[in-house]
Structure 1
Amino acid sequence: MKRGQIYFHLHLVSDSTGETLLTVGRAAAARYENIAPIEHVYPLVRSPRHLDRVIADIEAAPGIVLYTLIDREIADRLETACREANVPCVNVLDPVVDLMRSYLNLPATGKAGAQHALDADYFKRIDALNFSLMHDDGQLPENIEDADIVLVGISRTSKTPTSIYLANRGVRTTNLPLVPGIPVPDRLLKAERPLVVGLIASPERIMHIRQNRLLSINAADQDTPYVDKTAIAQEIAYSRRLCGEHGWPMIDVTRRSIEETAAAILALWDQHRYGVGSTRPGFV
């Protein structure tokens, strides 16, 4: 625990996986400085017996309760227990569902975990994930034309985690490392279908990440061009020139999270697919 930080118990009760509650809870908690939730996640709560255990935990460690429960009887029991324990409790989806019901004039389906159904979108995400793992870090460059997006950049520009995140959105992504003096695959230069995006970062950020990488693997040689700021600056300059020559848009990831980088890439991909605006070279 960090010194000076205030902690509170956050109970997340779901009849599905709890991913929605985790996202909402963390997004809300991030609005407060020096505040951090102690997360208690209860997935697949679909029976009174399971709910009894959840209520016992809430009473033992009072805090805030967020829930998504389709079964009205179980939800009412949870709300009653929270009221009696003087614990704040809210169904995070009800306001949105009610708004949609009012606008669409249609009843909502009462199916827990409906967003996780094994439908075509689900299998599309699995296919994209398999593709991205098989084509990580320059593997199988002959399949570039089968990708939706190709990420290029020097070492430690978050190419792999960004590829995995995009794959979870159903986007087939491959990534290729850029190394000065080593030509990029000819297939990349001739690729027509995929969107090619260059990822760059400041020399200071790259140097810091690479130093930590060497420390994590207990590398004996810490005095190497891999972590030399001047050498890194030259690598970044090479990336800029290459992307500029081929009209590939660039994204500076220095102060971006993986999610923010992926959002910018998906916006460029929409332009690439549908021709909305243009994918001119430059920074996003």
Structure 2
Amino acid sequence: MAATTSTSDQQNLVPPVAAQLHLHLVSDATGETLNSVTRACLVQFERAHPIEHHWTLIRTTGQMDKVLAGIEAHPGLVLFTVVNDRLREHLLDGCRRLGVKHVSVLDPIMGALTEHFGQAGRGLSGRQHALDAEYFDRIAAMDFALIHDDGQSARTYDEADVILLGVSRSSKTPTCIYLANRGIKAANVPLVPGCPLPPELFLVKKPLIVGLTKDVNQLVQIRRNRLAMIAKDEQSDYIDPQSVRDEVAQARRLCSEHGWPLIDVTRRSIEETAATIIQMLSEHRDKRLAEAK
């Protein structure tokens, strides 16, 4: 069991009452799901800076007693993802006794899935981390992304689900890694002025090919920072605004000529870019299935 407490450095910017709000996050697994949901919700409340208490890997009633003691010492909203029925009831009883608000984050989804599938969940903690086929698919996808990073291993491009094209510093590699964590095999190919693309790229049948582009000014700044980090001479076409503008224009023309979709990642997070690609991949697969009939 792990319990940690964190406070915001900006507590002095909010009213004293808000600074004293406590938020307890209780999980019988690693707490990743709960933390992600909580983060996604908290960003909608600019002035909310609660003191967070993280309680993870709660697997026994003794551990849950310590959680309840912490809640009693610092009363506040309790958010939890506890699927074990015995521990769940122990936590609920304790929260009711202490008179604190409590929310089971998974309940609405579990209820909908139970109704949809006509069966109840198994109530096992950490099932998303089990060493099942899906887990090994993610590992295989991660290996694939690393082997096919930056134009490598072109001979096996047709084994990819997605191939990303883009000029330097357009977030190709991190996007591929994120997709790999979703079990999607992603390769990426850099668009470098004067360097021909691998011929295998134009022969693939299965993969979805997607171009990534970014605002020229932002690209120039990112590249300047990159050169400064590796102590390289900054006088080159790599950071010349007109040269970069030509690179981006050439990338756009290439994608247009071949009918490859193009995503402007300037104001997108890696997650948002990946979500768009996943949607495109679903449509791409549907189209291929329809053509195969």
Equivalence for 1:256: 268
CA distance in 2, matches of 1:277, 1:133: 28
Equivalence for 2:13: 4
SS in 1 for 2:163: strand
Matched, 1:117 2:133: no
User: Within 5 A, what are the aligned runs for 1:217-256?
Assistant: 217=229, 219-256=231-268
SS in 2 for 1:275: helix
Matched, 1:54 2:67: yes
The correspondence for 1:28, drawn from 18, 27, 41, is: 41
Contact 1:68 1:92 in 2 (8 A): yes
Consecutive unaligned residues of structure 2, counting only runs of 5 or more, are 1-8
CA distance in 2, matches of 1:277, 1:140: 27
CA distance in 1, matches of 2:227, 2:48: 32
Equivalence for 1:45: 58
Equivalence for 1:16: 29
CA distance in 2, matches of 1:85, 1:132: 50
Contact 1:144 1:187 in 2 (8 A): yes
User: Within 5 A, what are the aligned runs for 1:79-98?
Assistant: 79-98=92-111
* Deviates most, 248-257 or 220-229: 220-229
Matched, 1:156 2:169: yes
CA gap of 1:126–1:9, structure 2 versus 1, over 3 A, is farther
Contact 1:271 1:277 in 2 (8 A): no
Q: How large is the RMSD of aligned CA atoms in angstroms? A: 2.6
CA distance in 2, matches of 1:213, 1:9: 41
* Deviates most, 76-85 or 108-117: 76-85
Consecutive unaligned residues of structure 1, counting only runs of 5 or more, are 279-284
Contact 1:145 1:192 in 2 (8 A): yes
CA distance in 1, matches of 2:123, 2:187: 38
SS in 2 for 1:42: strand
Equivalence for 1:268: 280
SS in 2 for 1:208: helix
CA gap of 1:246–1:122, structure 2 versus 1, over 3 A, is same
Identity in percent? 47
The correspondence for 1:213, drawn from 191, 203, 226, is: 226
CA distance in 1, matches of 2:217, 2:95: 49
CA gap of 1:111–1:155, structure 2 versus 1, over 3 A, is same
CA distance in 1, matches of 2:166, 2:51: 37
Relative to the length of structure 2, the TM-score reads: 0.84
CA distance in 2, matches of 1:235, 1:38: 48
CA distance in 2, matches of 1:34, 1:24: 18
